């Protein structure tokens, strides 16, 4: 039902297929690699960016923040596989992420498995869970699908919060037992390795999502988003393709959970909350649904702002404002929610659509000097 009503973003032509008007057209395909290389060598830099980060770039605090941002960039890209590319509005994505976080934590801390086994089991388990629940939830479409996924995720949140069998630690969460982990991933001085792990995860997700959306399967998914009935008429089974996308996104989210658990060093019940799914939705929409880099940027920016706005809200500049202004500004969610609402109205394409929206403006700006000369 919703599939046909979605105001879908126009059928997306991959960037590299459009003839580039940039100054160095030959360089364009390599830009992601350049960005990856730059991101990989960031930990070697001691540059201090006051106002943007609290310490120099290679300080553990900054690296941990960056690592969390990168993981959520990847998580948002995976969620976009559902929302932006297939047009499925799932409100339960937090469940698979939480399955990754708690799965790793429980297998390592409670069962004492080595990390690689725990990670492998968790990712497999998360994927199977997504396949099973997806198989039920996809019997419904549109808003009902959103509701069912929301309800399933709520069961996850209840199971974690009520602490059945004493596995999850309930409200307090479960700190990760680091004694069995490889030494390279433990301790403040090794935060840089976690950063690289997060970067690797992001690169893998971007690669997978890109390959899937470029493949024939990806075209079918885009077709499902734009007109599901037509895909059915063409003799393809929408259910199977949607289940495939749902399972893949669930597996990617579980992998994100594994990495996140290592970065944060434990699990806390807030990763199971429906708010996490809602913020994923915000990330994707802010970044630009259905684009390759939009959700990644949206995820990174959202987590960064969420973290930094807390610091900003308690800073002196804000405290000096009258209470009417300073109190709402000290709530990151208020600022992000407001920005999100404004984005839905004024920038439907998100960050990735900004360039096209601002094109008339930049054209007039760049034309003016020509006329003068």
Partner 1 sequence: MSTVILLALTGLGLAALYFLVASGLSLVFGLADVLNFAHGLFLGVGAYATWWASGNLPGAGPDGFGFVLAVAFGVAAGVLVAVLVELVLIRPLYSRTIEQVLVTVGLSLAGVALLQATWGADARPFPRPGWTRQVTGILGANVPNAGLLLIVAAAVVLGALLAFLRWTRYGLVIRAGVENREMVTALGIDVRRAFTLVFAIGGAAAALAGALGGVYFGTVSPGQGGSLLIFAFIVVVIGGMGSVVGSAYAAVAVGLLQQFVNYYGPSGLGDVCVVALLAVVLLLRPQGFAGKVATA
Binding site for partner 1 (CB under 8 A): 2, 5-7, 89, 136, 139-140, 143-144, 146-148, 150-152, 154-155, 158-159, 161-162, 164, 274-275, 278-279, 281-282, 285, 327-328, 330-334, 336-338, 340-341, 344-345, 348
**For partner 1, the closer CB: 54 or 163:** 163
Shortest approach of partner 1 to residue 27 CB, angstroms?
36
**For partner 1, the closer CB: 88 or 108:** 88
Shortest approach of partner 1 to residue 52 CB, angstroms?
24
Nearest to 245 by CA among 373, 84, 110, 367: 84
Using only C-alpha atoms, the chain has a radius of gyration, in whole angstroms, of 22
Sequence-separated contacts (24+) of 42-49 with Cβ below 8 Å: 42/66, 42/195, 43/192, 43/195, 43/196
Shortest approach of partner 1 to residue 238 CB, angstroms?
16
Using DSSP's 3-state secondary structure scheme, residue 215 falls into coil
Shortest approach of partner 1 to residue 344 CB, angstroms?
5
* CA angle centred on 353, ends 36 and 21, rounded to 5°: 70
Tokens for 275?
């708010």
Shortest approach of partner 1 to residue 33 CB, angstroms?
33
**For partner 1, the closer CB: 178 or 278:** 278
Q: Which residues are registered as beta bridge partners of 174? A: 267
Shortest approach of partner 1 to residue 127 CB, angstroms?
20
Would you say 108 and 176 are in contact if contact means Cβ atoms under 8 Å apart?
A: yes
Diameter of the chain by CA atoms?
78
Would you say 12 and 350 are in contact if contact means Cβ atoms under 8 Å apart?
A: no
Tokens for 61?
């605090």
**For partner 1, the closer CB: 3 or 43:** 3
Would you say 206 and 292 are in contact if contact means Cβ atoms under 8 Å apart?
A: yes
**For partner 1, the closer CB: 111 or 144:** 144
Would you say 239 and 218 are in contact if contact means Cβ atoms under 8 Å apart?
A: no
* Dist CA 121 CA 130 (whole Å): 14
**For partner 1, the closer CB: 215 or 310:** 310
Would you say 32 and 172 are in contact if contact means Cβ atoms under 8 Å apart?
A: no
* Dist CA 260 CA 266 (whole Å): 9
Tokens for 174?
């479960």
**For partner 1, the closer CB: 5 or 184:** 5
**For partner 1, the closer CB: 2 or 58:** 2
**For partner 1, the closer CB: 55 or 348:** 348
Contacts of 326 (CB under 8 A, 6+ apart): 313, 318, 319, 320
Shortest approach of partner 1 to residue 102 CB, angstroms?
16
Shortest approach of partner 1 to residue 142 CB, angstroms?
8
Q: For residue 17, what is the DSSP state?
A: G
Shortest approach of partner 1 to residue 87 CB, angstroms?
9
């Amino acid at each position: 039902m919703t599939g046909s009503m979605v105001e879908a973003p126009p059928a997306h032509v991959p960037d590299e297929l459009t003839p580039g008007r940039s100054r160095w057209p030959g360089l364009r395909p390599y830009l992601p690699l350049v960005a990856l290389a730059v991101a990989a060598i960031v930990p070697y830099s001691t540059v201090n960016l006051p106002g943007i980060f609290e310490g120099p770039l290679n300080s553990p605090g900054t690296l941990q923040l960056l690592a969390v941002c990168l993981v959520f960039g990847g998580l948002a890209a995976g969620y976009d596989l559902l929302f932006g590319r297939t047009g499925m509005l799932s409100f339960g994505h937090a469940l698979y992420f939480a399955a990754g976080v708690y799965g790793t934590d429980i297998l390592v801390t409670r069962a004492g498995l080595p990390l690689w086994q725990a990670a492998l089991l968790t990712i497999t388990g998360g994927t199977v869970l997504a396949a099973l629940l997806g198989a039920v939830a996809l019997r419904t479409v549109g808003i009902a699908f959103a509701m069912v996924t929301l309800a399933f995720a709520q069961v996850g949140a209840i199971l974690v919060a009520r602490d059945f069998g004493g596995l999850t630690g309930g409200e307090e969460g479960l700190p990760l037992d680091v004694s069995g982990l490889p030494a390279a991933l433990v301790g403040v001085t090794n935060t840089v390795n976690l950063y690289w792990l997060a970067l690797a995860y992001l690169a893998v997700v971007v690669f997978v999502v890109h390959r899937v959306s470029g493949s024939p399967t990806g075209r079918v998914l885009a077709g499902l988003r734009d007109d599901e009935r037509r895909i059915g008429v063409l003799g393809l089974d929408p259910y199977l393709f949607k289940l495939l996308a749902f399972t893949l996104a669930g597996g990617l989210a579980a992998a994100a959970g594994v990495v996140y658990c290592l970065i944060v060093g434990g699990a806390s019940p807030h990763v199971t909350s429906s708010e996490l799914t809602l913020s994923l939705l915000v990330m994707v929409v802010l970044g630009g649904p259905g684009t390759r880099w939009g959700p990644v940027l949206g995820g990174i920016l959202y987590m960064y702002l969420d973290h930094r706005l807390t610091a900003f809200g308690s800073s002196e500049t804000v405290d000096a404002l009258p209470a009417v202004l300073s109190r709402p500004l000290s709530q990151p969610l208020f600022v992000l929610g407001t920005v999100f609402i404004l984005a839905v109205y004024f920038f439907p394409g998100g960050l990735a659509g900004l360039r096209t929206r601002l094109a008339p403006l930049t054209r007039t700006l760049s034309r003016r000097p020509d006329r003068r000369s």
